[in-house]
Amino acid sequence: MKDIRQYQKETNRSMIDTDLMQKYLQIKDYTTFAKVVVKLVDDGILSPVKRSKGNSKKPPLYNRYRIMPEEKDYSGLVEEMNYKINYELNMGYYKERPERYVEDRDEIRALSQFLNTKKEKLKIQISTKERSFQIWGREKFLEKEGGISLLNRLRFSMHKLNIYSTTEPLAYYSQHKSSPQNILIIENKDTYYTFRKYLLEGNTTFFTTTIGTVIYGSGKTIWNSFSDFALGVEDYLLDTRNELYYFGDLDYEGLFIFQQLKDNFKGKVEIKPFMDGYKYMINKMEVENMKLSKTKDGQNKNHYTQFLDYFDETYKKKIIDLLESNLYIPQEIINYGDLVREGTNGV
C-alpha cells in the first residue's frame, strides 16, 4: 500500500477526497479501505474535514481528509547539541528552534570542530576572509554569507576569532619625494584624477597652495583606508612637518567625512580643509550663476561647526546659506581647465 503522505509531496496538497484516496492507495475493497482510514486517523496521519460531511457508506467515512504534517523527531539533534558541540558555543537559541539547527548545522559543526582541534591557530591574528576560509572553507562566509549572524546566535564574540579587517590600499601620487610637503586628500575619483593629471604635467601650485602629493579618499572609505596610512605609504609622507588637507563636496556629507576623519586622527595627524579649493567652488558657482542640485535625504547635519571655523565670516555665511537651503556644490565643479587657467593667470 502506498504512503498517503507521498500524495502530499507529489501534489503539494494537504487535503484529499475520500474516493480519490481509495484509488491512490489502490485498495479495491471499501471495508478494508475504511479500516485503513480509521487507522490513519488514529495514528494522527489523517484528520477528517468534518464540514465535508459523511459519505453515506458503511462503514461511514467523511468525504474529505486532511493529511497532517509529519512530526519530526529532533531528539537526536538535541543530544548532539548537548554533548557534541564545543562548550564555547551557546546552543540555547537552537535548542528552542531545532528546525533552525538543521539549517545551520554544517556551519556550527565546522566551527565546533575547529575549536576542538585547531583552537591554537587563533593565537595568530589573520584577516577576516582568511579566518573564514580556514574555518568554513568559504572566504566570504563571515562578511557576506551570514557568518556574523550565526556567531550572534551562538553568543560567540567575533573578537575570539582574532581577526583584522582589511581596507582598500590608498591610491596616491607624489610629484616629488621631498619633505616637508603639502598633501591633499581628495574625496571623489574624477577630481583626484584631474589633480593628479595636473601634477603629472609638472605643476605643483593649485590656486595659491603648493601640493606635492594627492591621495584618493573614496568618500567614507577614507576612514578605514587612512587608518593604515603609516603602513601603506613611503617614509617621506610620514614626516611630521607635512601639512595634510582634505577636499570634498560642499554638503553635509562631505563636511561629515572631513570632521570624522579629523576626529579619528586627533592627536596624531592634523587635517585641515583645502581652503583654496572650497573658496574656488563657491566663487565659480556665484560668478557663473550655476543651478545647484538638492542634497540627498538623510545626511548628517550635525558636524560642520569646526569646518566653518577655518573660514572668514563672508565665506562662513555663504556655506551656511548653502547648507540650510539643502543645496550642495560637488567638487567636480572644478575641472582640469580651471586648474590650467588659474595656474596661468593666478587667482
Supply 178's cell numbers.
621631498
Q: Please tell me whether residues 62 and 202 are part of one structural domain.
A: no
Report d(CA 306, CA 32) in Å as an integer: 89
Strand order in the sheet with 171-174: 171-174, 213-216, 182-186, 243-247, 271-273
Supply 123's cell numbers.
593565537
User: So what's the pLDDT on residue 347?
Assistant: 41
Q: Please tell me whether residues 61 and 86 are part of one structural domain.
A: no
Q: Please tell me whether residues 238 and 329 are part of one structural domain.
A: yes
**Mean pLDDT, the chain, integer:** 87
Last residue of one domain, picked from the residues 108, 132, 164: 164
Q: Please tell me whether residues 219 and 158 are part of one structural domain.
A: no
Q: Please tell me whether residues 197 and 335 are part of one structural domain.
A: yes
Total domain count for the chain? 3
Range of the domain at 88: 75-164
Q: Please tell me whether residues 193 and 303 are part of one structural domain.
A: yes
**pLDDT digits over 71-101, tens only?**
677 888 888 999 999 999 999 999 888 888 8
**pLDDT digits over 210-262, tens only?**
999 998 877 566 655 565 665 566 788 787 888 999 999 998 888 988 888 88
Last residue of one domain, picked from the residues 149, 164, 179: 164
pLDDT for residue 166 is more than 80: no
**pLDDT digits over 258-284, tens only?**
888 888 777 777 889 999 999 999 999
What is the CATH number for 309? 3.40.1360
Last residue of one domain, picked from the residues 114, 143, 164: 164
Q: Please tell me whether residues 145 and 129 are part of one structural domain.
A: yes
Q: Please tell me whether residues 186 and 335 are part of one structural domain.
A: yes
- In this prediction, residues 35-41 reach a mean pLDDT of 93
Which residue matches cell numbers 555665511? 317
Mention every residue, 6+ apart, whose C-beta is less than 8 A from residue 179.
236, 239, 241, 242
